[in-house]
Amino acid sequence: MVASCAALIEDQARTKGLTLDVVAPDDLRAMQADAPRLIRVLLNFLSNAVKFTNNGYVTVTVEQTLEGEDGLLHIEVRDTGIGIADHQLNGVFDRFSQADAAVSRRFGGTGLGLAISRRIIEQMGGEIGVDSRDGEGSRFWFEIRAPLCELVPEPPADETAIPDPGRAVCLLLVEDNAVNRELVRTMLEPFGISGETANDGAAGVEAVRQGRYDLVLMDIQMPGMDGLTATRRIRAMTDFAGSRTPIVAMTANVLPEQIANCLAAGMDDHLGKPINPPRLLETVARWSGQTHAHVG
């Protein structure tokens, strides 16, 4: 899991001339935990570390302590970036805030990713924290406890396509939940995928009418006009080139009949929530027609 996350960020780190390393023991035991949500947290840590580091390194360290039938997993991301002042440390995990407004203007982002990360780890009964000094880098970490388990051999998995970093992908995200909008942005930002957002179905229809997008990610349950209705409206706009833009449902509605309803409304594919980062990248690569590489 950690190696895969690092691989997704590696090109971004290399572009900035940073060294990205993973340090982990060879004898780690398998643990039964929620990997997709832990991937979200780790990708957020890594993305921020690379964003706020101009020189030096980013290192991911993995430690595991065995406690009977449980394992205590400790993962931290250390960087040599701009750091955080002492008086700002208490607020870095707060929702809708960032340590410094000047940092937000310079580097972009709203700081929501860290608030989401804290919620994920706390819901798992774990701990999350940060140690940092202004101008001397940061160390973001989390710990979770989970049962040890035995790995069941699986057949080789299909490789996961990721978008071509050399070609721009313009994406429209139609989603009424601000936290979900920020989460998707955090997942896609390391790959240079730009995008616009719409807060409901009606705004999404108008955005497609006014602009040109490679892909639309459409939530289903939204106030006002829902995603199914919005998709039907877009498909009915036969006079607009954007009417045939690929539309992918992004919803917690995952029952077979619910997926069928999405396809019947004119959607091209379906992404279940909670979003799995590799699956999101694979979907963007496939439907934008800009596949670059593969992650095993």
pLDDT tens-digit readout, 231-284: 999 999 866 666 688 999 998 877 767 888 888 889 988 888 878 888 888 888
pTM: 0.57
The residues near 82 (Cβ < 8 Å, ≥ 6 apart) are 52, 53, 54, 103, 134, 135
Q: Which two tokens stand for residue 188?
A: 């896609």
Nearest Cα residue to 218 out of 208, 101, 165: 208
| Residue 234: Cβ within 10 Å count | 26
How many helices (DSSP H) and strands (DSSP E) are in the chain?
9, 12
Cα separation, 273 vs 131, whole angstroms: 32
Separation of alpha carbons 92 and 84, rounded Å:
9
Structure tokens at 61: 């360290």
Domains and CATH numbers, the chain: 2-147 (3.30.565.10), 160-295 (3.40.50.2300)
3-state SS, residue 154: coil
Task: Write down the mean pLDDT value for the chain.
Answer: 82
pLDDT at 146: 96
Would you state the pLDDT for residue 103? 43
**Per DSSP, which regions of the chain are E strands?**
19-23, 57-67, 70-79, 127-132, 138-147, 160-163, 170-174, 194-198, 215-218, 247-251, 269-272, 291-295
